[in-house]
A and B are shown apart, each in its own frame.
Chain A
Amino acid sequence: MAYLLKKEEFPYFIEHLISKARVVAPVMDKKDLMSRFTVLKKGEGSKVVFDTPLYPAKDFFLRSGEKLYSFKEDKISPVVPKSEKTIFLMNRCDINGVHRNDLILLGEPADPHYKAKRECAILIEIPCRPADRCSCVNIDLIDCHDLQIIDKGASFILHPATKKGEGLLKGLDLKETEYSRPIIPKYKPKEVKTDNKEVWERYAKECFSCSACTVVCPTCVCFTIEGHLNIDCKSGHKYRKWASCQLEEFTKVAGNHVFRKDRGARGKQRIHCKFIYFYEKFGYPRCVGCGRCNEACPVGINIYQYYEALK
């Protein structure tokens, strides 16, 4: 079942959501004309824009610097994951990004901190406004929203897909309507038959190894577990911070040996991970086609062009 929502009523719909839980949505920052995922305050319902902000919402789910447990002398006390019911308004690609991260972080044994936040999250898919940087054709963006907002010219169609999504519409007087789901083509990774030496040599020459691509990627959730010791030398905590496969430190071991010293090898890891390795493990590409990495790259490395160039 689906429901009709007049476009002029949209801000009231957002206010309705704000009254129910914390709402995170893309909001235009007037200072630098960039949209960002922002926690909405009461009365900010009209501020929502249909956009894919350059910085994804992944830090709401997996914050860098998150404490895993703390210790004092010989005692460890677990840090209880904090979470709050949160409604996310995101594009289809970003919601698929959450789904891909679920496959890794909720797989047995589940990451308790991610799980706590994920269970409290309600995902609303907003109408897509394609940008120059993105390309999500044939990339297997599946339905994994709780509620979908579809743009139908004069009005929106609200299509709840889960109980969580239906719950959001409680207390609203909406007219029912028909809706049929479009058919999405299935992704098939290309077969890479050669070692593509010249492709990775080119990548090694172009890449600055700045890791901007992995910072803005909604599905780059690799992390390092680090320890912090307080000044008393007796207590402290373990925390995780984001890590990037594009940096040398990623594969550095004691004795300063680096397994992936060459930037081309690190590029191969990133592009294979996004399009091939993840598909082999979970049946979906890890890339969701948002193209943020293409925009963030200071030298204009385009992930799709590199994937296309592979033989």
Chain B
Amino acid sequence: MNPYIPNRYRIEKIFNETHDTKTFRVNTKINPLPGQFVELSILGIGEFPVSISSCSKDYIDLCIRNVGNVTNAVHSKKEGDHLWIRGPYGHGYPLKEIEGKDIILVGGGTGTAPLRGAIKFIESSRKRYGKVHIFFGFRHYNDILFLRDQKDWKKDFNFEFTLDCAPKQMKCNVGVVTALIDRVELDSGAVALVCGPPVMIKFVMDSLMKKGIKEENVYISFERLMSCGIGKCGHCELGGRYICKHGPVFSYKDAKKMVD
């Protein structure tokens, strides 16, 4: 068995999220856990790791922003075309272990994609979890991801998003995502799932600590460019841990020691 060889899967549906982001629903029975990732290939162009933003027995959703060569090639694919995928890799969110607890999910930009996987999982067994708060931050109003899900999320959860800047006529939260955390009442036993740029994580941690959330109850999803996905190539090593193999989800107790 050659672990570097991907399999070919059909694109069932493409959702246009924003001007530069699409979600690809791919027919596959790899059945991953929310928080895991796959390596996606366009033969001859390249390969990159991408987190799973929703999964079921028959498909996975991959939310991809058009930022480079390979993602650009992926964006040119149409429904019915094929993608090469290997995985799933890494450890996902501990969704079984945190049953019965209040949950707060904080995400920024494309960092909201892996959290969507967790939200979809919680949605499917809503009764097993306590209060669920979802706070997302985006840059502009045209960067808001998963608009189509938000109606359902507002019904089932305390869902709010904030923008870095918004046009005057738009009524929405403006500012940093931590402002949303600061004004909500949280149980100190709550579990937090966080994914986003490093700066955001730093300030989100400050806010969560102030609310009395324990470090070991905060789970952070890291992003690096993994080349192999199986803990061999060395690219994603951070503070002695391989993001691909030991992560990408780490409890903050471990994550805070992982610095460059």
**Residues of chain A at the chain B interface (Cβ within 8 Å):** 68-69, 71, 74, 76, 78, 104-105, 107, 109, 111-112, 221-229, 233, 236, 238, 240, 243, 245, 250-255, 259-260, 262, 265, 268-269, 272-273, 276-277, 280-281
Contacts and interface: CB of A to CB of B under 8 A. Distances in A.
Contacts of B8: 74, 76
A269 B260 contact: yes
A254 B68 CA distance: 5
B232 A236 contact: no
A127 to B, nearest CB: 33
A105 B231 CA distance: 9
Interface string B86-102: 00000000000000000
A254 B230 CA distance: 21
Contact of B260 (A104, A223, A225, A260): A260
A254 B48 contact: yes
Contacts of A74: 8, 82
Interface residues of B, number: 36
B234 A243 contact: yes
18 contacts: A68-B4, A76-B6, A109-B1, A112-B3, A222-B235, A223-B228, A224-B235, A227-B47, A236-B44, A238-B47, A240-B233, A243-B227, A243-B234, A245-B237, A251-B235, A269-B260, A280-B240, A281-B240
B240 A104 contact: no
Contacts of B228: 223, 225
B224 interface: yes
A35 B237 CA distance: 34
Nearest 9 pairs of A and B residues by beta carbon = A222-B234, A254-B68, A277-B240, A229-B44, A254-B67, A109-B3, A265-B260, A236-B44, A253-B225
Interface in B65-80: 67-71
Contacts of B234: 221-223, 243, 245
A17 B110 CA distance: 59
B209 interface: no
A255 B109 CA distance: 14
Contacts of B45: 227, 229
Nearest to B246: A281
Contacts of A255: 67-68
A69 B2 contact: yes
Given A69-B2, A225-B47, A253-B225, A276 B240 contact: yes
Given A221-B234, A225-B227, A227-B41, 17 more contacts: A69-B5, A76-B43, A104-B232, A107-B232, A109-B230, A111-B3, A112-B2, A222-B234, A225-B4, A228-B44, A238-B4, A243-B235, A245-B237, A251-B235, A254-B67, A259-B260, A280-B240
A227 B4 contact: no
Contacts of A71: 43-44
Interface in B24-54: 41, 43-48
A273 to B, nearest CB: 7
Contacts of B227: 223-225, 243
A272 B240 contact: yes
Interface in B230-260: 230-235, 237, 239-240, 260
Contact of A277 (B43, B46, B237, B260): B237
B150 to A, nearest CB: 26
Most buried by B among A221, A226, A254: A254
B233 A224 contact: yes
A270 B240 CA distance: 11
A110 to B, nearest CB: 8
Contacts of A260: 260
A3 to B, nearest CB: 38
Most buried by B among A107, A251, A272: A251
